[in-house]
Structure 1
Amino acid sequence: MKIVLCGYMGSGKSKVGRLLANKLSLKNLDLDEVIEENEQMSIAEIFSIKSEIYFRKKENEVLKSLLSNSESFILALGGGAPCYANNLELLKENKQVKLIYLKVDVNVLSDRLFEEKENRPLIRSQKSRADLNDFIRKHLFERQFYYMQSDLILDVTSLSLKETVDLIQQKL
């Protein structure tokens, strides 16, 4: 089984992925980290130096490669991954994949992301919490179509990481 976590940046995909992989004794992967390792630069540097389009192409290539592997794993996607190229199709067509959407309230996402926006290329330019909140609200509206096609949709707004991991394990 390949458990794939999707959701907006700041929804906890990477942290939940690590904890869930540890609990289920599965390999843990983070799509952004794999890309950073392959490219030998951070996502922010890839966006800045090579462009978002380049990043999205690499994201698709790496996802295809990971999904073609026969081993079981937990994979945390980047927030936009399901929305570009044929990534959602790749995930939905693969019978080994269980796609899980970690849904989090816009205000909670804004609070989580505001302090770390310098490390997030897509939101770096947002000057205030209100601007960031508006940006996230618009982005979520655009991405909701993709996220909502997940096999499992979990509102984890008020859950701790441990509670989220326990809920996923219970739903599997």
Structure 2
Amino acid sequence: MKIILVGYMGSGKSSIGKKVAEVLRLPFKDMDTEIEKAEGISVSKIFSEKGEVYFRKVENTILKELLKNPHSFVLATGGGTPCYSDAMEFIQKQKDIVSVYLKIPIDILVSRLFSEKAERPLIAHLGSEVELEDFIRKHLFERAFYYNQADLIIEVGPESVAETVEKIILKLF
């Protein structure tokens, strides 16, 4: 089985995904890391030098390559991964995949992302928490259609990573 975590940036896909993989004794993969390995440069550099359209094409290609792999693993996608091209449709068509949407309140996203916006190309230009909240609200509205197609929707709040992992494991089995 492959477990694919989707959700907005800052929702905890990587930290929760690592712990889910550890509990289930599966390899963990991170979409951004896989892209950086394939391209030989950072995601930030890809965005600044080649643009978002190029990034999304590479992301979609790598996603499909990963999902064709016959081995089980946990994958933390990028926030936009399921929302571009046919990615979510492709995920849903695979037999051995469970997709999990980590749904998190906007206020928690704002507090998590504002302090780390410099490392996130899509939000680095935003100057205030109000601008960030507006940006997130708009993005979530646009992306909800894709995120909500996930097999499981897990509400994530202020609880610990371990508590969220437990919610996921209980829904999986």
Using structure 2 for the length normalisation, give the TM-score.
0.98
Q: How does 1:6-155 map to 2 (within 5 A)?
A: 6-155=6-155
CA distance in 1, matches of 2:124, 2:29: 25
Compute the displacement of 1:69 (Å).
0.6
Deviations 1:35-86 (A, max 9, x none): 0111111111100001111100000110110011100000000000000011
Compute the displacement of 1:95 (Å).
1.1
CA distance in 1, matches of 2:87, 2:23: 27
Q: CA RMSD in A?
A: 0.6
CA distance in 2, matches of 1:60, 1:35: 10
For the residue of structure 2 that corresponds to 1:150, the secondary structure is coil
Q: How many residues align?
A: 172
Q: How does 1:150-161 map to 2 (within 5 A)?
A: 150-161=150-161
Counterpart of 1:162 in structure 2 is: 162
CA distance in 1, matches of 2:114, 2:158: 18
Structure 1 residue runs of 4 or more that deviate by more than 3 Å after TM superposition: none
CA distance in 2, matches of 1:130, 1:103: 21
1:18 maps to a residue whose letter is K
CA distance in 1, matches of 2:115, 2:36: 22
Compute the displacement of 1:158 (Å).
2.6
For the residue of structure 1 that corresponds to 2:139, the secondary structure is helix
For the residue of structure 1 that corresponds to 2:159, the secondary structure is coil
For the residue of structure 1 that corresponds to 2:89, the secondary structure is helix
CA distance in 2, matches of 1:42, 1:132: 23
Using structure 1 for the length normalisation, give the TM-score.
0.98
CA distance in 2, matches of 1:47, 1:119: 12
For the residue of structure 2 that corresponds to 1:123, the secondary structure is coil
CA distance in 2, matches of 1:102, 1:159: 13
CA distance in 1, matches of 2:26, 2:78: 19
